[in-house]
């Protein structure tokens, strides 16, 4: 029995043998070259910071670096201002992603099952933080948070960053729901599951990829957000991007090269998570 089971599984997973057929209109070489150049143009500047991070502990930025050392990384991990702000950024990012994915998922699911035109309108409204210039958002958040005494505090950062992360969750969960068969909810109801139980046992598992993707984007958005963070900062509470900003404008501290490399690596890794998850499932 176990053998037959295994056989059917592999038979299903293995793709049918592909014949090697040369496509008639293959992508021409010049187009491939152009695409490669454009790709490099967009990505390269980001990765220049990595070798710079391994440069000497001088106060000037030079590319290519004249020496190789890990001094800047050492600085980063020993200086409480740097490592502390990394911790705060991570904490704010995780909490903001949690809040954004909770409310974003609730909104997406609710709007998905509402009839009529209202959902489209509300969805557009919720997307506004995506298209509003950050400075306008930052000022309005700052003004209102001043009255509510939320500036310079963890809750303040979390609420503000959750608001700008929510649209990402909304988009990815709405996309996941488009392939969700709502008959399943009738089935679960007929089988005795309350609406909440149906959500937990049926809807949530089936849209989990959308929720996860949205949460990652919300985290990354919060993690590298600088404009709102600048307004909300206090001497006691500074996120990593604010610390980086300070390090060039106030202190001229080249540790920023190391922290930039770290940031690029962390963010890239996070955005690759869904790719890896998918690859693992299909293999």
- Nearest CB to another protein, comparing residues 133 and 192: 192
Token pair, residue 91, equals 């904490």
Helix (H) or strand (E) holding 56: none
From the list 34, 118, 135, 184, which residue makes contact with another protein (rule: CB under 8 A)?
184
Instruction: Give the integer Cα–Cα distance in Å for 76 and 71.
Output: 9
- Judged by beta carbon, residue 39 or residue 195, the one nearer another protein is 195
Q: Looking at 186, 269, 273, 278, which residue binds another protein (CB under 8 A)? A: 186
Closest to another protein by CB, 165 or 210:
210
- Could you tell me which residues are beta bridge partners of residue 237? 234
Binding flag, residue 50, another protein (CB under 8 A): no
* Upper half-sphere CA count for residue 5 (Cβ side, 13 Å): 2
- Candidates 188, 221, 239, 260; binder of another protein (CB under 8 A) is 188
| Nearer to another protein among residue 110 and residue 195 (C-beta) | 195
Contacts of 250 (CB under 8 A, 6+ apart): none
Largest CA distance in the chain: 71
Q: Find the binder of another protein among 98, 189, 267, 270 (CB under 8 A).
A: 189
If we measure between CA atoms, which residue out of 167, 144, 124, 170 comes closest to residue 228? 144
- The single residue among 10, 12, 60, 275 that binds another protein, judged by CB under 8 A, is 12
**Does 250 contact another protein by CB under 8 A?**
no
Backbone angles phi, psi at 23, to 5 degrees: -60, 145
Beta-ladder partners of 234: 237
Mark the segment that binds another protein (CB under 8 A) among 116-124, 150-158, 181-189, 270-278: 181-189
Interface region with another protein, contact rule CB under 8 A, candidates 62-70, 185-193, 220-228, 233-241:
185-193
The distance of closest approach from Cβ of residue 192 to another protein in the complex, given in angstroms and rounded to an integer, is 4
Residue pair 76/258 in contact (Cβ under 8 Å)? The answer is: yes
Q: Which is nearer to another protein, 14 or 236 (CB)?
A: 14
Question: How far, in Å, CA of 133 to CA of 222, rounded?
Answer: 16
Q: In the structure encoding, which two tokens stand for residue 101, read together?
A: 């994915």
Of residues 190 and 249, the one with the C-beta less far from another protein:
190
Q: Indicate the helix (H) or strand (E) that contains 129.
A: helix 118-131
Nearer to another protein, 30 or 196 (CB): 196
Which CB atom, from 113 or from 272, has the smaller least distance to another protein? 113
Residues in the chain: 283
Q: Which residues contact 109 (CB under 8 A, 6 or more apart)?
A: 173, 177, 199, 203, 207
- By the rule CB under 8 A, 278 interacts with another protein: no
Q: Show the binding pattern over residues 205-244: x = contacts another protein (CB under 8 A), - = does not.
A: xx--------------------------------------
Nearest to 151 by CA among 216, 231, 226: 231
Contact predicate 102/166, CB 8 Å: no
- Does residue 176 interact with another protein by CB under 8 A? no
Residues binding another protein (CB under 8 A): 1, 5, 8, 12, 181, 183-184, 186-195, 197-198, 201-202, 205-206
């Amino acid at each position: 029995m176990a053998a037959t089971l295994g056989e059917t599984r592999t038979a299903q997973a293995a793709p049918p043998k592909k014949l090697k057929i040369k496509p008639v209109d293959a992508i021409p070489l010049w187009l491939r070259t152009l695409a490669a150049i454009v790709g490099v143009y967009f990505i390269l500047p980001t990765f220049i910071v990595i070798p710079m991070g391994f440069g000497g502990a001088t106060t000037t930025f030079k590319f290519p670096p004249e020496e190789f050392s890990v001094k800047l990384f050492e600085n980063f991990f020993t200086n409480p201002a740097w490592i502390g702000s990394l911790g705060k950024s991570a904490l704010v990012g995780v909490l903001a992603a949690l809040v954004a994915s909770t409310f974003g998922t609730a909104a997406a699911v609710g709007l998905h099952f509402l009839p009529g035109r209202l959902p489209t309108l509300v969805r557009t409204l919720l997307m506004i933080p995506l298209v509003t210039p950050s400075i306008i958002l930052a000022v309005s958040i700052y003004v209102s948070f001043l009255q509510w005494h939320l500036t310079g505090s963890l809750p303040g950062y979390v609420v503000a960053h959750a608001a700008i992360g929510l649209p990402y969750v909304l988009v990815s969960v709405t996309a996941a729901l488009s392939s969700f068969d709502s008959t399943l909810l009738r089935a679960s109801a007929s089988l005795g599951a309350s609406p909440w139980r149906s959500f937990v046992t049926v809807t949530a598992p089936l849209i989990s990829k959308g929720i996860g993707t949205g949460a990652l984007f919300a985290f990354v958005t919060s993690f590298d957000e600088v404009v709102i963070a600048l307004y909300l900062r206090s001497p006691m509470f500074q996120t990593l991007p604010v610390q980086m900003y300070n390090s060039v404008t106030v202190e001229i501290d080249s540790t920023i090269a190391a922290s930039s490399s770290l940031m690029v690596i962390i963010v890239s890794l996070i955005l690759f998570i869904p790719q890896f998850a998918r690859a693992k499932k299909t293999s």
